[in-house]
Amino acid sequence: MDFPVHDVIDYAEIWKLLGSSFATISERAGSMPRDWAYLLDSGTPQMKSSLFIAARSGLFPATLFQGIPARFAGGTYKMREVRIEGLPELRPAPGLASGPALDAVHASEPTYYPGLGSGIQPADPVAGSAAFAEVLRRAASAARYDDPVLLLGETGTGKTMIARMIHGSGSRGHAPFVEVNCSAIAESLAESELFGHVRGAFTGANRDRSGKFRAAQGGTLFLDEVGDLSLEVQAKLLKAIEDKTVTPVGSDASVEADAHLIAATNRDLPALIGEKKFRRDLYERLKVIVINIPPLRERREDIRPLSERFLASWNAQYREERFLTRDASLLLEAYSWPGNVRELQNDLRSAANASVSAAIGPESLPDEMRRSRTQGCPDLFDHLEAAELPTDGINLKARLLQVEWEYVAAALRRTGNNREAAAKLLGMTGPAFRKALRERLAAFADEGWEEGM
C-alpha cells in the first residue's frame, strides 16, 4: 500500500495520514492487528519520528526495527530490534479533542502529542541557531497560558508561523485561528472588521456581521501589524481585551468574545507612543509575553537547514531532486537577507524554477543577490570588483589560494594562533580548518609563518 504525502517534512500531514493508514489496514484485516512491526529505514526523518512516536506512545504498539546497511554488516543487509526500555514514555496530553483519523482506530485517544501540537500547526520550525531556539522555547511556554503575546520582528521573520505554533500547541488548538492583517484594513472599516456590526448600522450594512473577535471564539485572534490601527480602534481593542466582550457597530449590547490574543508588529511601538500614535495602556496590556524574533542575518546557522526544507518541499511538490551546490550555499549564507525567511523561500523557488539541472548553482540565484556586497566579507568583494584582469591572464587557482591564505593568516593572528577560534571567525569547523592548513594551504604554512606571530 502506498501513502503519498504532499509535504514529506510536514509532521501534521504525516501524522494525519499515518492515522488514516492504520485505520485502512485495520479495515482490510477485519480488526486491529495485534502485532505491528515498524522498520525505521525509508522515508524522511519526520516519517521515522512519527512511526517511533506512534509505537512509543502506546496508541499503536509495535516492535521497532532498524536496518543495518550491508557495508556495515559484513556485506549483507541486516535488521536489529530497537530497544526502547529506558527511553522516556510519550503520553497524549489530556483533555484535547480527538481527530477523525485516529478515532477510527482508538476512539478514546486524543491526537495531540508532545512536540506535534494539535495536528493543525505547520511543519516543525527550523532552529539551527541558539537565537531562534530561544524563540521556540518562549513560544512553547506562551502556549501554556491565555495571556496576550506580542511578537516583534522585521517583515518576513516568521511571526505568523510562531503565532500558529503557539495556537496549535496550546489548549485552544482545536478551536479557530483567525488572522487579521491590520495594515490591510481601511480605517473606516476596522471597527466593523474586528467587532462586527448590526444590520443597518451604516450604508451597505445589509446584514449582521459577527467580526473577527467573535469568529475566534474559544480560539486565537492574531492581529498582525497591530501598530497600524487607529487610536480610536486601539481604545476599543483595549476594552475588548480587558472585558472579554465586544460591542458591534450600531448596537448597545455587549457580546462575549473569549479569544487568546496574539499581536505582532515590525514597528517600534515605544517610538509610536512618543509620537502619540499608539496608546501606552494598550501597549502595556499587549506586552505581557514578548517574543523578539531576530532577523535571518542574525541567525545564519538557520539558512542552510531552511534552504534544505524549502527545496525538499519543492521536490515533493514537483517530484524533482533539486539541491544547492556548495558555492550557492555559501552565497546564501553570506547574503544580508533584508526580506528574511520569506525572501529566502521565494528566492529558492525562483532558483529551482530557473535552474537547468538538478544542481542549483549561483548562476540561478537572483541577480541582486549575486551583485550585492555580502555582509560576510565586504572587503574581499570590494577588492574583486576593483581588480583588473592582466592582459596575459592569471593562474586563478593560485590566486584564490593566496586570497584564502590571507584570510586564514589574518584569523590566526587575531586569535593568537588559536585554530579553533580562527576557524569560527571564518565560518569553518575546526576539522575543516585544520585540513585546509594540512592540505591545500600547506605551501604557505611551511614558510615559517607561525614564528612571526
pLDDT value, residue 103: 40
The pLDDT confidence band at residue 11, using thresholds 50, 70 and 90, is confident
CATH of the domain at 223: 3.40.50.300
Residue ending a domain, among 103, 118, 147, is: 103
Assess whether 69 and 188 both reside in one domain: no
The candidate with the shortest Cα–Cα distance to 153, out of 140, 167, 139, 143, is: 139
Q: Is residue 3 part of a domain?
A: no
Confidence class of residue 33 from pLDDT cuts 50, 70 and 90? low
Under 8 Å CB-to-CB from 101, ≥6 apart: which residues? 16, 17, 18, 19, 20, 23, 111
Q: 398 or 435, which is more confident?
A: 435
Q: How many Å apart are CA 211 and CA 213, to the nearest integer? A: 6
DSSP string, 215-235: HTTTSEEEEETGGGS-HHHHH
How does residue 121 score in pLDDT terms, banded at 50, 70 and 90?
A: very low
Considering the domain architecture, whether residues 343 and 406 belong to the same structural domain is answered as no
Length of the chain in terms of residues written: 453
Q: Of residues 359 and 23, which shows the higher confidence score?
A: 359
Contacts for 101-108 with beta carbons within 8 Å, 24 or more apart? 101/16, 101/17, 101/18, 101/19, 101/20, 101/23, 102/19, 102/59, 104/19, 104/20, 104/22, 104/23, 104/26, 105/19, 105/22, 105/23, 105/26, 105/32, 105/59, 105/60, 106/59
Q: Residue 93 pLDDT > 70, yes or no? A: no
State what percent of residues in the chain have pLDDT above 70: 81
Instruction: Provide the β-strand partners of residue 181.
Output: 224
State whether 324 and 188 are in the same domain: no
Greater confidence, 106 or 254? 254
Least confident of 264-273, 349-358, 435-444: 435-444
State whether 273 and 322 are in the same domain.
no
Average pLDDT over residues 72-98: 66
- The answer to whether residues 293 and 159 touch, using CB atoms and an 8 Å cutoff, is yes
Give the helix ranges, DSSP H, for 156-202: 159-169, 190-195
Note whether 68 and 15 are same-domain residues.
yes
Sign of CA dihedral 188, 193, 198, 203: positive
pLDDT on residue 446: 58
Q: Compute the distance between CA of residue 57 and CA of residue 23 in angstroms, rounded to an integer.
A: 17
71 and 190 part of one domain = no
pTM for this predicted structure: 0.58
Question: What's the average model confidence in pLDDT over 401-429?
Answer: 84
CATH number for the domain spanning 399: value is: 1.10.10
Residues contacting 138, CB < 8 A, separation 6+: 289, 291
Cα–Cα distance, 273 to 265 (Å, whole number):
14
Residue 113 lies inside a defined structural domain of this protein: no
Contact assessment for residue 296 and residue 157, using Cβ atoms and an 8 Å cutoff: yes
Number of domains in the chain: 4
Do 365 and 442 reside in the same domain of the chain?
no
Same domain, 277 and 141: yes
Instruction: Specify if 118 maps to a domain.
Output: no
CA–CA distances in Å: residue 124 to residues 25, 131, 161: 27, 16, 10
Domain assignment of residue 5, yes or no: no
Instruction: Among 56-65, 120-129, 135-144, 327-336, name the most confident range.
Output: 135-144
Instruction: Give domain status of residue 424, yes or no.
Output: yes
pLDDT of 110 above 50: no
| Furthest CA-CA distance within the chain | 88
Q: Determine the pLDDT at residue 387.
A: 55
**CATH code assigned at 311:** 1.10.8.60
**Over residues 234-254, mean pLDDT:** 88
Overall average pLDDT of the 48-56 stretch: 84
Position 111 in a domain: no
* Type of residue at 238: L
The answer to whether 155 and 342 have CB atoms below 8 angstroms apart is: yes
173 and 287 part of one domain: yes
Alpha-helical regions (H) of 269-355: 269-274, 280-286, 303-318, 326-334, 340-354
Strand pairing of 36-39 and 220-224?
A: unpaired
User: What's the rounded mean pLDDT across residues 3-13?
Assistant: 79
Looking at the structure, do residues 239 and 179 belong to the same domain, yes or no?
yes
Query: How far, in Å, CA of 97 to CA of 173, rounded?
Result: 9
Statement to judge: residues 400 and 264 lie in one domain:
no
What distance in Å separates the CA atoms of residue 96 and residue 94, rounded to the nearest whole number? 6
> Residue 1: inside a domain, yes or no?
no
Record the cell numbers describing residue 450, joined without a space: 607561525
Average confidence (pLDDT) over 77-88: 76
pLDDT of residue 94: 45
Q: Which of 343, 371, 399 is the last residue of a domain?
A: 371
pLDDT of residue 118: 33
Model confidence at 442, pLDDT cuts 50, 70, 90, reads: confident
What's the domain range around 72?
Answer: 11-103
The average confidence (pLDDT) of the chain is 80
Q: Is the pLDDT of residue 96 over 50?
A: no
Q: Are 416 and 431 in contact (CB under 8 A)?
A: no
| Residue at 355 is within a domain | yes
Predicted confidence at residue 101, as pLDDT, reads 36
Do residues 44 and 98 share a domain?
yes
In sequence order, the 6+-apart residues with CB closer than 8 A to the CB of 76 are 70
Looking at 268, 292, 316, which one is the last position of a domain? Answer: 292
